[in-house]
Chains A and B, each alone.
Chain A
Amino acid sequence: MKGIIFPVLSVVLACSAAGQARADNSQSQDATSPVVTIQHLAADAPSATPFVPVGHMNPVMDQGTYFHGILNEMEGRYSASGTDFRWDGESWYGSDYNKLWLKSEGTLERGRLQDGQQELLYSRSVSTYFDVQAGVRLDLDDGPMRTWGAFGIQGLALYQFEVQATAYVSDEGRFAAKVEGSYDFLLTNRLILQPQAEFNFYTKSDAARQSGAGLSDVDAGLRLRYEIWRKFAPYIAVTYSGYLTQARRIVHDQGGKTGTTRFTLGIRSWF
C-alpha cells in the first residue's frame, strides 16, 4: 500500500504547493497514517464563547486611552522690521484605533494674528503607519473667519517621513488642501536636524485672507534642535514664509511682504 494511498487533505483554502508537499511526504507513510487536517484558522481566533474572566477582571489592559500634546513649533522669527511669533501644535486623546485630534497653528505678526488654522478631527487608524482623519477646520485669527470640512491622512511614509495631507471644503463651496511633511535627521542621538514644510492650496482666491487660487503659500523651516530630554528641545532655525503665484500678487498689491527668510529661535516640547 505504501505510496499508493495518500493522506486525505482537508484544506479549507486550496493550496497547490501544500498539496504537492503533502504528497511528497506521503511517500514514507503507510496506510495507517492519520489523516492530516490543516485548519486555516488561528487557534486564538475571536470566539463565539469567549473566555469570561473571574470577576470580570481583565488580566491585561490593552485598551488604554492616552492623552498627548506636542508643540512642534513655538518660535520667534527675527528680522530687522520686527519679530513674528509662530506656533504649530497638536494634541490627541484616544485609543489605538480611535482618537480625537486638536491641531492649531498661527502667526502673530506685528500684533496681528494671521494664518490661524484650528482643526478638530476624529482620527481612525487604518494601516500600519497611517490614520485617516475627518472633522472641521476654522480659520480663526484677526482676518475674516472661514469654516471648512476636513478630510485627510496622517502618518509615517516610506523612509520615515512624517506626512499629513488634508483636503477641505468650505461652507461656500470652495476647496482647499494642505500638505505638510518633515524628516528627522539624527546628527547625534540628541542633536536633530529637521527640515519641515507646509503648503496650502486653494481653488479660489480669498483676498481678505491673502490666499490665491492654486499653490497659495508655503511655510518652511530647517530646525536644529537639541533634546535635553525627549520632551523638551530648544532649537535654532532658518524659516521661510511666503506667498506664491496668485496670492503673491494679492499680497504685493496690498503692500505686504511676499516672502521672508528669518533667523528663528524656539522650543519643541510635548507631554
Chain B
Amino acid sequence: MKFSSRMRDGLTRRSFVTGLGAGGFAAAFPRSAWAISPVAGIIPAQSSAQWHLNISQKHIEIDRKALKAPCVDGSLPGPTLRWRQGDTVEIKVTNHLKHEHTSIHWHGLRLPYTMDGVPGLSFMGIKPGESFTYRFPLMQSGTYWYHSHSGMQEAQGLYGAIVIDPAEPDPNACERDYVIFLSEWTDVSPDDMISNLKMQDDYYTFRQRTAASFPQQAREAGSAVAALKNRLMWSRMRMAATDISDVSGIIYTYLLNGHSPDMNWNGVFRPGERVRLRFINGSSMTFFDVRIPGLEMLVVQADGNDIEPVPVDEFRIGVAETYDVIVQPGDEKAYSIFVQSEDRTGYARGTLAPHAGMEAPVPPMDPRPVRTMVDMGMGDMKPGMSMKDMKMPAQSGTTAGEKSAAPVSMPHHTDVAPANTAAPKKAASMDMKNMDMSDDDMAGMDMSDDDMPGMDMGAKTPAKSVPPAHMPAAPPPPLEIDDPGPPPLNVENQNVAQMPIDRLGSPGDGLEHNGRRVLNYKQLRATRPGTDLRPPSREIILHLTGNMERYIWGFNGRKYSESGPIRLKRNERVRFTLINDTMMEHPIHLHGMWSELENGQGDYQPYKHTIISQPGSRLSYLVTADAPGAWAYHCHLMLHMELGMFRVVVVE
C-alpha cells in the first residue's frame, strides 16, 4: 500500500492552522473504504461533536490471514474520534451486519450507564439494520478507545481510538501527535480459540520447557539437579512455568495502527520536534512491552489522565490500558517503535522517521519470561527462611514511628521507590528513611520493600481476615470489609496465593532487571489531587481465580453465571482489593467509575480505568460510586471475560 507521505504525518490542529494542510487532507477521508485505515494513527485536524459510524463486515487480509471482519467504516482500526471536553457528543451507530447485534462501548468514559454500550446492562444492543444514537457530555479529556461489547467482535477488529482535547490548554501539547493503536490479527475465530483451549489449555503455547531446552535451563539454574527439581515442582502442581499468554504469535500477527510489522507503519517528524505518541492496547489477549531504541520516552498520561512525567526506556501496557508518551528525536534518522508481546512470540512494529518509507533496525526479542513462585502467590520467601525472620524488619521499622496505625504491618504506601522523589513524605515513609532501609539493604535480606505487607499478611493470618492497614498515619479503617477468605480449590480454581505480595513496584514478569528503566505502577502520580479524598467506608476483597486446565475463569472461585451482582450504595467510597490467585496478569476494568490505584501517592493517586493485577499479587484501589446504574466489571482479556471473569456492579 502506498500513501502520500503527507497523509502519514500526524499534524495537530496547530500545524494545520499554520498552513501545512496535511491534517486537512487526512480529515477529508475519515470514512474511507480502505481496509487498513490509511489515516491510522492520524488524529483528525479538528474535534467534532457529531459522528455517524457504520458497522459492517469487510474482507481484510493481513499477513496472509483473511477475515470478514466486523469493523467501523470499513477500516481497521476504526476512525479516530476527536472530541472536546465540555462538548456533548452525539454518535449515531448503524449496524450493517447481516445477522449479528452490535454495540460500541466507550472505554474509560464517564457517562450515563445507558450510553455505556454493554448489551444486557446498558441497552439491548443494536439489531441488524438499526441505529442507536449515543449522546453524552464529555467531562474528561485524554486518550481513550472504543470497541464492541457484543460477542467477539472486538477481537476481530471492531475498535478505534478516541482523543478528547482538554478544555484547558493541554500541558502536553506537541508539534506532532499520533495514536499508536496496538492489536492482534488472526483468521482463527475466538469461538474456536475457546473451544481449543477447553480441550487443551496449552494449545497455542509452543515455547514450553522440553528435553531440548533442559541443558540451557540447567546452565541458568546452576546445575541439572536444580533445573530438574524446578521442573518437578511445576509438574507436581500441574502447571507450566512457561504459561505466559493463552493465545500466542503462533496464530496472531501483532498490529500497530492496523499495520503488520512488514507493512511498517510510518510516523513522520522533523528533528528536534516533540512527538506525542498515544499508545492504546486494543488487543484482546496480549500484553505488550513497548520501547523505541535510541529514544527516551516521557510518560505523561495513563488511562487518559495526566501524570507527573516519568522518563523511561520501556513500559508494559496491559490490554485496554493507554499511555501517552512524548519523545524528542533530535537526529535526522529513523527509530523503530518496537512492541513485543509479553510471551515474546511476536512483535508489532512501526517507524518514526524524518521521511516516510524509512526503516530502522528492529532489535531482537528479549528472552521470554518464566513464571516463578512469586507468580504462584508464594511471596518472595527463600527456602529455609522463617516467617519470623521476615517480619522483624517491618516491626522494627514501624515501632520507630510515632503515629503508625499499623504496628504489625509495613505500611503499604512507603515511598521508597527512587523515582518518586516528588512523593509526599508521609510519616511512615520518613520512618523508613530514618531507619536507613534502602532498597539495597532490604534486598540483602532477600526481601524488597514491596513484599512486606503481603508477607506480613500471610504470616499473621493465613485466613486473610485482618483488614490491611493500607493507610499510614491513620485515616480510620473501613467500616465494613467483605472478605470471602481464600477461594476454594475446586473445579473453577486451581491455586490459592498463600502469600500474595505488593507488586506495584515491579514492571512485570520478564521486565525486572533487564538493564532498562521500565515503568512501574508506583511511579504513576497524578498531576491533580483526587476529587474525593474521603477514606473508604467499605472494602471489597476479591480473589481472581481460574483453572487453566479446564480453561474457566472467575472471581472468588466462581464464574459469572454462578455469582451475584456487586452492589454499591450511591456515592459510597469503596476500596476494591484484588488478590490474584492465578499465575497470569489480569487487566481489571470497571466501567463508568474511576479506579484510583492506591500506589503510595497519597492524594495524587492515579485515576485509571484498567488496572493490571500481577500474578501472586495483592493491590487495592478506591472507587467513588457516583454513577448510578448497572456497570460491567471484568478482566479485559477477552476469553477470560467471556468464560466467567466478569461481574455486574450495581450502583443503587
Contacts and interface: CB of A to CB of B under 8 A. Distances in A.
A17 B465 contact: yes
B515 to A, nearest CB: 28
A21 B457 CA distance: 10
Contacts of A127: 489-491
Contact of B210 (A28, A50, A60, A188): A188
| Residue among A41, A60, A190 facing the most chain B CB atoms (10 A cut-off) | A60
A53 B235 CA distance: 42
A145 interface: no
B483 A38 contact: yes
B200 A42 contact: no
Interface string A157-192: 011100000000000000000000000011111100
24 contacts: A18-B466, A24-B407, A33-B477, A34-B477, A37-B479, A38-B483, A42-B555, A44-B555, A51-B648, A51-B650, A56-B120, A58-B561, A59-B118, A59-B121, A59-B149, A60-B641, A62-B646, A68-B198, A126-B491, A127-B489, A127-B491, A128-B489, A128-B547, A156-B238
A47 B565 contact: yes
Interface of A is mostly: loop
A43 to B, nearest CB: 4
Given A25-B407, A45-B564, A59-B121, A15 B199 contact: no
Closest 7 CB pairs of A and B: A47-B564, A42-B484, A53-B120, A57-B120, A62-B644, A51-B565, A18-B465
Contacts of A129: 238, 549
Interface size class for chain A?
35 or more
A27 B565 CA distance: 37
A1 interface: no
B564 A51 contact: yes
B632 A160 contact: no
**Residue with the highest number of chain B CB atoms closer than 10 Å, among A45, A47, A188:** A45
B121 A25 contact: no
A241 interface: no
B236 A57 contact: no
Contacts of B203: 230
A201 to B, nearest CB: 27
A6 interface: no
A235 to B, nearest CB: 17
B268 interface: no
A199 B9 CA distance: 70
Size bracket of the B interface: 35 or more
Given A17-B463, A17-B465, A28-B403, A62 B560 contact: yes
Interface of B: 118-125, 149, 194-196, 198-200, 203, 206-212, 232, 235-236, 238, 403-408, 460-463, 465-467, 469, 474, 476-485, 489-494, 540-542, 547, 549-550, 552, 555-556, 558-567, 630, 632, 634, 641-644, 646-648, 650
B629 to A, nearest CB: 11
B561 A28 contact: no
A41 B542 CA distance: 10
Main secondary structure, interface of B, reads loop
B122 A54 contact: yes
A216 to B, nearest CB: 31
Given A17-B463, A18-B463, A156-B549, 17 more contacts: A15-B461, A28-B407, A33-B477, A36-B477, A38-B481, A39-B483, A40-B483, A40-B485, A42-B542, A45-B563, A51-B650, A62-B559, A62-B644, A62-B646, A68-B199, A159-B232, A230-B196
B291 to A, nearest CB: 27
Nearest to B231: A159
Contact of B476 (A33, A37, A41, A188): A33
Contact of A190 (B120, B200, B206): B206
A153 to B, nearest CB: 14
A40 B481 CA distance: 8
A40 B541 CA distance: 10
A40 B465 contact: yes
Interface string A17-31: 110011011011100
A43 B408 contact: no
A37 B480 contact: yes
Interface in A51-74: 51, 53-64, 66, 68, 70
Contacts of B492: 96
A263 interface: no
B199 A270 contact: yes
Contacts of B461: 15, 17-18, 21
Nearest to B543: A42
A41 B549 contact: no
B458 to A, nearest CB: 11
B101 to A, nearest CB: 8
A55 B119 CA distance: 9
Nearest to B206: A189
A186 B208 contact: yes
B470 to A, nearest CB: 12
